[in-house]
Chain A
Amino acid sequence: MSLKFEISKCVAWAPGLESEQDWQSWQQGDKPLTDELALPQLSSIPAMQRRRLSPFAKVAIHCALEASGEYQSDIPCVFSSRHGDLQRTTKLIENIALNQDLSPTQFGLSVHNAAAGLFSIFTGNRAPLSAISGGQSSFMQGLLDSVSKLQTNNLSRILYVYCDLNVPECYRPYVTDDTPLGIGLLIEAPKGDKNAFSFCFNTQGTSPQSDNQALDFMRFVLSNRTELLTHIHQQTWLLHRNC
């Protein structure tokens, strides 16, 4: 069994890598990731609404808006993140520890589907939407969820948004690769075999342990390689591309 799909648009945002050109240069080894994460402008969002967006929400919503483009007001979506808006959550936990009153805004926007919810409010999008987390495999789990929904519900397209930023200092010792990264994919039902991607199961063989599947995926999708094999814990993920 395999799940086939096409990627008609791929948008990503990371420190030093913002435009399509940046990512192409990165893939060819001409442009490295930098240390400083700049934030997207999001000028299409009114200032009074934009002020509540955290860096996490800004990166996620930028990728969502850019990838969904003309379909943004009615496309079904899947958002995935391993940690969610952990900076916000950590601040709330600190407030509780210090016996301080919680900020209602921080509280309301710290839930895992906050960025997805804000995107749906900005775009007036009422299509089904889910926000998931799948440990170190969060990127692939989210992609699998998107493609499964596309196929099961016979959708013509679905928006997939992945985002994880640096975890707060106190969590750093528990996280291996902490590269801030947002990805937005406009995923469509395959029109033919050409350029179609597929998830494959029952794979044999081993591959090196992956510390950052999302970054591995970007490297793969921008190349002309036909296979992405990544391994995390007991899971092996295989993505195949027809050329």
Chain B
Amino acid sequence: MSDLNHEIKLLIIDALDLEDISADDIEDDAPLFVDGLGLDSIDALELGVAIKNAYNIKIDGSTEDSKKYFYSVKTLSDFIQISK
């Protein structure tokens, strides 16, 4: 479980070119967008593609649920686990 969290953090850093940030800087429960890490809507699209490529899981961006999945590393990790 925590391995998956770490893996997701590395995926976020790599896919979004977060050069100055390491996996340790990202907290499992902190919000990824706006507050917290401060990602924006382009990042959401980019992260969606990266997750699809890495785990073969498609997150439908048009549903309200997708906002919950993208909230933090932990919510993404939970979503990936149940979808696998």
| A interface residues (Cβ-Cβ under 8 A, vs B) | 47-48, 51-52, 100-105, 108
Contact (Cβ within 8 A) B53 A51: no
Q: Which of A47, A48, A104 contacts B46 (CB 8 A)?
A: A104
Chain B: interface residue total (CB-CB under 8 A): 12
Contact of A108 among B19, B42, B52 (CB under 8 A): B42
Contacts A48-B38, A51-B19 given; does A101 touch B52 at CB 8 Å:
yes
A104 is contacted by which of B17, B38, B49 (Cβ under 8 Å)?
B49
Q: Do A51 and B16 touch (CB < 8 A)?
A: yes
**Residues of B with Cβ closer than 8 Å to A?**
16-20, 38, 42, 45-46, 49, 52-53
Cα–Cα, bound, A95→B44 (Å): 20
> Which residue of B has the minimal Cβ distance to A47?
B20
How distant is B35 from chain A, measured CB to nearest CB, in Å? 13
Report the 4 A-B pairs with minimum CB-CB distance, sorted nearest first.
Answer: A104-B45, A51-B17, A101-B49, A105-B46
Taking CB atoms, residues of chain B closer than 8 Å to A52 are 17, 42
Q: A105 CA to B14 CA in the complex, in Å?
A: 13
* Interface of A (DSSP majority class): loop
List 12 additional contacts besides A48-B38, A52-B42; criterion CB under 8 Å: A47-B19, A51-B16, A51-B17, A51-B18, A51-B19, A52-B17, A103-B46, A104-B45, A104-B46, A104-B49, A105-B46, A108-B42
Chain A residues positioned under 8 Å from B46 (CB to CB): 103-105
Which of A47, A100, A105 has a CB less than 8 Å from the CB of B42? A105
For residue A49, give the distance in angstroms from its CB to the closest CB of chain B: 10
CB closest residue in chain A, given B40: A48
CB distance from B37 to the nearest CB of A (A): 9
For B38, what are the chain A residues with a Cβ–Cβ distance below 8 Å?
A: 48
A102 to B42, CA, bound (A): 13
- C-alpha spacing A51/B49, complex, angstroms: 18
Chain A residue with the shortest CB-CB distance to B52: A101
Cα(A101)–Cα(B18), bound, Å: 21
Could you tell me the distance between the alpha carbons of A38 and B45 in the complex, rounded to whole angstroms?
31
